[in-house]
Structure 1
Amino acid sequence: MNAKQMREILDVIAEMFPDAHCELNHSNPFELTIAVLLSAQCTDETVNKVTAGLFEKYKRPEDYLSVSLEELQQDIKRIGLYRNKATHIQKMCRLLLDKFDGRIPEEHDKLTELPGVGRKTANVVMSNAFGVPAIAVDTHVDRVSKRLGAAKPDDSVLEVEKKLMKLVPREEWTLTHHRLIFFGRYHCKAQNPSCGICPLLDRCKEGKRRMKPVRNRKDKERKLQR
């Protein structure tokens, strides 16, 4: 895929989801980091339900360390992998206090030093909390990029990110990240994607394969009607 083809795809998705944005509720970089950490293998909707009470109870790193691990686990029990995530949160808060004056660092390499914070989480925080252009490749971005041909089916997450960074203008990285997520979450779903009404079907080999039986059936029906 070249930049011109990617531009056409981006323009179509922009028309479909002009208001795409981060759907994790937060009011500061610290809350966003916690929310993204919790969102691994969990829906944003569930995370937002949990953080509605969590962010009322815990305001600062010190607050998460003032309770037992078991209590924090209970507070996030509706989240998948809640035991590991509770441990990561407390370890992250300890490191924030010991090394970063209790504040979320604004440098990517320092963010990834935090327990539970990988490259994807760091990209989300950098772009949404600090306004630094970044493309975070989550399951939706990965799936859509491969279906539309911006990346190969066997590309790693890092390879997908690098290819998107080359194809998309830097000033559009963050917005593209959100729009690809919306496209994947609400239209090009993992199961039962909306291929029949997709304006990008011609770009999608998988979509064409899905639609082939439908087209063949319609062709047979037309022949029977003649």
Structure 2
Amino acid sequence: MNPEKRREIFRRFQAANPHPTTELEYTTPFELLIAVILSAQATDVSVNKAMRKLFPVANTPQQIHALGVDGLIPHIQTIGLYRTKAKNVIETCRLLVERHGGEVPRTREELEALPGVGRKTANVILNTAFGEIAIAVDTHIFRVSNRTGIAPGKNVEEVERKLMKVVPPEYRMDAHHWLILHGRYTCTARSPQCWNCMIADICDYRPKTPRPTKAV
């Protein structure tokens, strides 16, 4: 894919959604951190439902740590892998209090040192909470980048490096959100909605999915 096509793709994304953001609900960097940790292999919808009950009760590292694992589990047991995530969240809260004065750190290294926080989660926090240019490659972005030809790669790290290189600078801040939303609602895993896609005419995906025919 040539640079002109990439620029046009992101121009269209921006025109359709000038101010994209995460679908996770949060009001502070800490709330976003907890939501992202809990969102691994779970839907944003399920996380938001749980957080609407948890955050009114506890929404600081001190408050959630005070719940303990057994106290946190009832709030998040509707989310997949909740036992492991509960342990990670409680330990993360302890480290935030002991090492960072109860604040979410603003460096990748410090973020990735927290339990349950990998490179993808760190990138989300840096980009969404702190306004830094970072692209968190999840399954949606990995699929869209490879399928469309925007930034093909064999693994998430390779796709991230390519995206940071090939996405025009003026679009890098929001590229993460546009690509996730495109993968979540249009360029879906099993059957991409090519007939309803704003970039279908310039996408490199060749076996375009035809519009479904209505049953007679």
Length-normalised TM-score, structure 2: 0.90
Using the TM superposition, name which of 6-15 and 79-88 deviates more: 6-15
Matching residue of 1:209: 207
Matching residue of 1:219: none
- Conserved in 2, the CA contact under 8 Å of 1:133 and 1:171? no
In the alignment, the residues of structure 2 paired with residue 33 and residue 171 of structure 1 have an alpha-carbon distance, to the nearest angstrom, of 26
CA 1:171 to 1:106, structure 2 compared with 1: closer, same or farther past 3 Å? farther
In the alignment, the residues of structure 1 paired with residue 122 and residue 46 of structure 2 have an alpha-carbon distance, to the nearest angstrom, of 21
Matched, 1:100 2:100: yes
**Distance apart, 1:202 and its partner CA:** 4.3
When the two chains are superposed, the root-mean-square deviation of aligned CA atoms in Å is 2.0
Pick the structure with greater CA Rg: 1
Matching residue of 1:161: 160
In the alignment, the residues of structure 2 paired with residue 102 and residue 198 of structure 1 have an alpha-carbon distance, to the nearest angstrom, of 43
Q: What is the count of residue pairs matched by the alignment?
A: 212
In the alignment, the residues of structure 2 paired with residue 196 and residue 22 of structure 1 have an alpha-carbon distance, to the nearest angstrom, of 25
**Distance apart, 1:168 and its partner CA:** 1.4
AA aligned to 1:178 is H
Matched, 1:70 2:70: yes
The alignment partner of 1:78 has SS state of coil
**Distance apart, 1:204 and its partner CA:** 4.3
Unaligned stretches of 5+ residues in structure 1:
216-226
Measured against aligned partners, the alpha-carbon deviations of 1:32-85 in whole angstroms (never above 9, x if no partner) come to 100111111111111111101111111221212212312211210111111111
Q: How do 1:50-61 and structure 2 match up within 5 A? A: 50-61=50-61
In the alignment, the residues of structure 2 paired with residue 128 and residue 210 of structure 1 have an alpha-carbon distance, to the nearest angstrom, of 33
Matching residue of 2:6: 6
Using the TM superposition, name which of 176-185 and 12-21 deviates more: 12-21
Find runs of 4+ consecutive structure 1 residues off by over 6 angstroms: none
- Conserved in 1, the CA contact under 8 Å of 2:37 and 2:116? yes
Matching residue of 2:17: 17
AA aligned to 2:132 is V
- Conserved in 1, the CA contact under 8 Å of 2:7 and 2:168? no
**Distance apart, 1:100 and its partner CA:** 1.0
- Conserved in 2, the CA contact under 8 Å of 1:25 and 1:32? yes
AA aligned to 2:46 is T
Measured against aligned partners, the alpha-carbon deviations of 1:117-161 in whole angstroms (never above 9, x if no partner) come to 111111111111111111111111111111111233x52101000
In the alignment, the residues of structure 2 paired with residue 100 and residue 188 of structure 1 have an alpha-carbon distance, to the nearest angstrom, of 40
Matching residue of 2:185: 186
Which structure shows the bigger proportion of residues in helix conformation?
Answer: 1
Unaligned stretches of 5+ residues in structure 2:
212-216
Matching residue of 2:146: 146
Matching residue of 1:175: 174
